[in-house]
Chain A
Amino acid sequence: MDWLYVLMPIAGVKIFWPGLIILGVGVGIIGGFFGMGGAWMVTPGLNILGFPMAFAIGTDIAHMAGKSLISTMRHGKFGNVDYKLGIVMLVGTVVGFEVGAQMVMWLERIGQVEKYVRYLYLILLALIAWMVFADVAKKRRKEREAARTGASLEALATGIEWHKTIHRIKIPPMIHFKEAQIYISFWMPVLVSFLTGWLAGILGIGGGLIRMPALIYFIGCPTHVAVGTDLFEVMISGLYGTATYTYKGRTELVAAIIMLIGAAVGAQIGTVATKYIKGYGIRIAFGLAVVGCAISIILKLLARAIPPYAAIFDGSATVLILGLVAAMSLYIFVRMVQGAKQEVAAKRAAAKVPVAG
């Protein structure tokens, strides 16, 4: 069974390559569907496959850049990517990220920064999960009220509408973002991306997990456009991160390319699934993923707090994350297949009608 293992030229370890492809498929599906890089899912997976931690992060970022490019290409064809908005937000993201990163270095001198960063991450995830589920509850309440009066909600109606308040701020220059269908002050996306970039810099994460809901709730993007535009940003920041980690000698390109084989398939599945799962379906699934991520961080905090049980808590966190990736990928895959089957059947039925007539 030696052929199932490939020797990594730089890391010098033998890795089970089908495992890399499976991992690539899983995170490709989730990344393409939610519009995030998913470093929090890949790094423990690579570690389990036998990658030294020093190479796990760099390899993950390199694969993330390629995977996001594949997803962006597909989302772009659906009209889900607002490139203008992505570029405007990139300015705020980069500046915010650097400010956050410098702030962490300053905080490191005070000590215990890692512990506080984990707590901050946890609070942020709780806020995002609350925001998503409060939005879903509010939308359902609106639907019930509309049904009571015999009316129906418009197709693009949402629960939480904070973006409407932000859209009222008319500081010039005002910009129209065509794909996102919004008319907003240039400074608002810059400010929101600065804040999300700043948080990502402090937390040491890519930021897709924060930027995607920010695009929806603060900028007012439809869910699909938020997913596509966020992936466009992840692609650029991923390339930038690849350069950083590779220059430090921490990227295993062979593994990243093997993962990309799986991710190319996964990203297509995840992206096409957004065609069949409507905006609120994506929001609910995203909320559940955030809850899973938060629980895994709680387990990691417990591992530090109770050292005798550290192995159990750390192991549980990894099992939870990989279980979450497997379950969500399977759900998205099944929904995509069901949707595609229905569409193909409808097309065939439509093609038969003129013949019968």
Chain B
Amino acid sequence: MKRIWTKIIGLGALAFILLPQIALAAGEKAAPLVIVADTRRFTGWQAWWTNLYNESHLYFTLVTVAIIPVVGFLFGCLADLIMGRIGIDLKSRELAEH
């Protein structure tokens, strides 16, 4: 069972790394040019961020893909808290097609 799970996770990780290369092929094509961020204009975290972009698109992608759901989750929880204060029922609704 453990071997099967190892294989599934391994294949999933492989697909995650390789598939983006061919995915969205029908979408708007990115121009075949290299974009370099101007690190001279930034300091602190912005300088680190632009450097990461220039040095490795792979790490830049991994950090972006990790940050988006985390930020979405945090903002979602925050907005949930605020909505919860207006006093409406946020856990049920009628199932109706009227």
Contacts and interface: CB of A to CB of B under 8 A. Distances in A.
A62 B90 contact: no
Given A73-B73, A156-B97, A66 B26 contact: no
Q: Interface of chain A, helix or strand or loop or mixed?
A: helix
B22 interface: yes
Contacts of A18: none
A66 B41 contact: no
Interface in B81-98: 82-83, 86-93, 95-98
B98 A102 contact: no
Interface string A301-326: 00000000000000000000000000
A274 B93 contact: yes
A54 to B, nearest CB: 6
Give the bracket for the number of chain A residues in contact with chain B. 35 or more
B98 A280 contact: yes
A165 to B, nearest CB: 18
Given A239-B68, A245-B30, A224 B61 contact: no
Contacts of B83: 268, 272
A246 B60 contact: yes
B43 to A, nearest CB: 11
B58 interface: yes
Nearest to A75: B93
B41 A279 contact: no
Contact of A239 (B69, B87, B88, B96): B69
Contacts of A155: 95-98
Nearest to B64: A246
Contacts of B30: 54, 245, 248, 250
A304 B41 CA distance: 39
Contacts of A69: 69, 72-73, 76
Most chain A beta carbons < 10 A, residue from B28, B76, B83: B76
Nearest to A154: B97
Interface string B49-76: 1100100011011001101110111011
Interface string A192-204: 0000000001111
B65 A243 contact: yes
Interface residues of B, number: 54
Q: Which of B50, B57, B72, B76 has the most C-beta atoms of chain A within 10 angstroms of its own C-beta?
A: B72
A40 to B, nearest CB: 12
Nearest to B65: A243
Given A9-B37, A278-B98, A280-B98, A247 B20 contact: yes
B20 A73 contact: no
A65 B68 contact: yes
A79 interface: yes
B53 A10 contact: yes
Contacts of A247: 20-21, 57-58, 61
Contact of B88 (A242, A251, A253, A344): A344
Contact of B65 (A239, A249, A275): A239
Contacts of A73: 73, 76, 80
Contacts of B68: 62, 65-66, 239, 242, 253, 256
A104 B28 CA distance: 12
Contact of A246 (B27, B57, B78, B98): B57
A182 interface: no
Contacts of A223: 97
Contacts of B25: 98, 101-102, 104-105, 201
B24 interface: yes
A256 B69 CA distance: 12
Contacts of B86: 340, 344
A278 B97 contact: yes
Q: Of residues A77, A246, A275, which shows the largest number of chain B Cβ atoms within 10 Å of its Cβ?
A: A246
26 contacts: A9-B42, A10-B50, A66-B71, A74-B80, A77-B90, A79-B93, A101-B22, A104-B25, A158-B97, A201-B25, A201-B26, A240-B20, A245-B30, A247-B20, A249-B35, A253-B67, A268-B83, A272-B88, A272-B90, A274-B93, A278-B96, A278-B97, A279-B97, A279-B98, A280-B97, A347-B87
